[in-house]
Amino acid sequence: PHAGPVEGKNEAAMSELVPEPRQKPVVPMKPMGINTNLLGYIGIDTIIEQMRKKTMKTGFDFNIMVVGQSGLGKSTLVNTLFKSQVSRKSSGWNREEKIPKTVEIKAIAHVIEEGGVKMKLTVIDTPGFGDQINNENCWEPIEKYINEQYEKFLKEEVNIARKKRIPDTRVHCCLYFISPTGHSLRPLDLEFMKHLSKVVNIIPVIAKADTMTLEEKTEFKQRVRKELEINGIEFYPQKEFDEDLEDKTENDKIRQESMPFAVVGSDKEYQVNGKRVLGRKTPWGIIEVENLTHCEFALLRDFVIRTHLQDLKEVTHNIHYETYRAKRLNDNGGLPPMTVETEENH
C-alpha cells in the first residue's frame, strides 16, 4: 500500500529535476572554452624543479681517476678540466720525490662551487703506474682500490640502520693516458684496459697531443681505436648501455670520431688577441688549450662534465657496482657480507 505514494513522490521529484539540466548544458562549457589551459594544467612540469632543488641541497659527488705514466701531464690536465688546482701537484707533491716503487694511490677531495651548484670532486691519482722496468700486474692495486670502494658502499648499504645518504667513493670515471708515440699501444695499455674496463668507466686520452702533427694525430687515433676493437676492449660510452636511438646516435659519433681524445693541458694563461687564454707557449706560437682547431680538450671537458657526468655516475651504479654486488652476494650464498670476522679482515 505504501508503494503508490513513494512512486508518486519520485515521479514528482523527477519531473522537477528534468527541466533544470536541459536549461543549463551550456554553462559548464563556457569556462572550458575560455580557460582550456587553466583547467588542463596539473603542474607535472614542476617535478623537474623539485628535483633540482633537492639535488642542489645535497650536492654532487664525482670521483675521477687518472692513470698513466709519469710526465704525461695528468695533474695538469685535471687542473685544466676543473679550472682549479685540484690534483696532487698542488697538494705539496715535490718534483724531487722519487718514483714510487709500486703504484701508490692518492685521493684528494675538493669542493667546487659554480652558480650555486656544489660538487665534491675527488681526484684519485696513481703515481708509479707504468714507470718501472717490470710493470707486470701493476694494475692490480688500482683494481683493488676500485673494488674496495664498491665493497665499502655495499657494506653501508646492507647495514640494518643504514644512512639515508651513503657517502659515494666509487670511481665514476678513469681517464687513461696514452703516450703520444704515434705507433701502437703498449702491451701495458692493453692489459690495463682489458682488466679494468669490466669494473670502471674508462675514457682513453692521448696526452701531450701537441707533440704530433695533424696527420700523425689522425692516424694514431684511428690505430688506437682499431687496436681496442681487435682486443675487445670496451671503453665508455659502452655500446650495450645506449638506452635509445638518440643516445646511440650521439655516442656512436663520440666512439667513431672523438675517441680517444687528443688533448693538451695547461694551467698557464696567455694574452691572445686581447683575450686571456689557457695555453702552452712554443717558439712558433701559443697552443690554445680550449681552441678546437688546436686540440680536443674542449671536447673532452664537455663530454665528461657537461653532457655525460650524470650518465657516468649512473653506469657506475647500475652496471659496475651491480655486477660487483651480485658476485659478492653470490659468493656469500646470497647473504650480505656483514659478519664480524669479515669486518676485521678488511
Domains and CATH numbers, the chain: 58-86+100-265+294-332 (3.40.50.300)
Residue 293 DSSP code:
T
Residue 200 DSSP code:
S
The pLDDT of residue 260 is 92
The pLDDT of residue 345 is 47
The pLDDT of residue 204 is 95
Burial of 174 from C-beta contacts in 10 A (0-12 / 13-18 / 19+): buried
> Per-residue confidence of the chain (346 residues) as pLDDT tens digits?
555 555 555 555 555 555 455 554 554 554 455 555 556 778 888 999 998 888 888 888 999 999 998 888 888 888 888 887 776 654 444 555 666 767 889 898 999 888 888 889 999 999 888 888 888 888 999 999 999 999 999 999 988 888 888 889 999 999 999 999 888 899 999 999 999 999 999 999 999 988 888 899 999 999 999 999 999 999 999 988 888 888 889 889 888 888 899 998 887 888 888 888 888 888 888 888 887 888 888 899 999 999 999 999 999 999 999 999 999 989 877 677 765 444 444 4
Residue 55 C-alpha cell reads as 639535488
What SS3 state is found at 160?
coil
The pLDDT of residue 94 is 55
Q: Who's near 332: CB < 8 A, 6+ residues apart?
A: none
The pLDDT of residue 342 is 45
Residue 279 C-alpha cell reads as 695555453
Contact status, residue 255 vs residue 203, Cβ threshold 8 Å: no
What SS3 state is found at 60?
strand
The pLDDT of residue 1 is 52
Contact status, residue 112 vs residue 170, Cβ threshold 8 Å: no
The pLDDT of residue 202 is 96
The pLDDT of residue 91 is 46
Contact status, residue 280 vs residue 210, Cβ threshold 8 Å: yes
Per the confidence metrics, is the pTM higher than 0.85?
no
Residue 149 DSSP code:
H
Contact status, residue 163 vs residue 103, Cβ threshold 8 Å: no
The Cα–Cα gap between 173 and 155 comes to: 22
The pLDDT of residue 268 is 82
Taking alpha carbons only, the member of 165, 77, 190, 166 closest to residue 125 is: 77
The Cα–Cα gap between 97 and 119 comes to: 31
